[in-house]
Structure 1
């Protein structure tokens, strides 16, 4: 994967919140996802763009 596409701008991460829980997100570099521990969801990042849709998120208990 292209190194530029696998990074998340820290400033963007400060602004984004989980659309379900409104909680903070953390970046999971290994899976290239933004993780909401509160909602137990992981939002994918595709082509450098976070997909902040609950319907696209992966449940963390899976």
Structure 2
């Protein structure tokens, strides 16, 4: 599904994709990093598990 989203975004002229997730979603973070997304910012809110991460990928 992620590959299809990236294909569609490229076909629509997008140059970057952004994803915001939380530190507690380990599987999501691993998947995004393994697909060449990079951590752009970290927003500290509450406990460490609740920290928000903004990741981006250049297409």
Q: TM-score, normalised by structure 1?
A: 0.23
Q: Which has the larger radius of gyration?
A: 2
- Greater relative CO, 1 or 2 (CA 8 Å, sep 6+): 2
Q: TM-score, normalised by structure 2?
A: 0.24
Q: Which structure dedicates a bigger proportion of its chain to strand?
A: 2
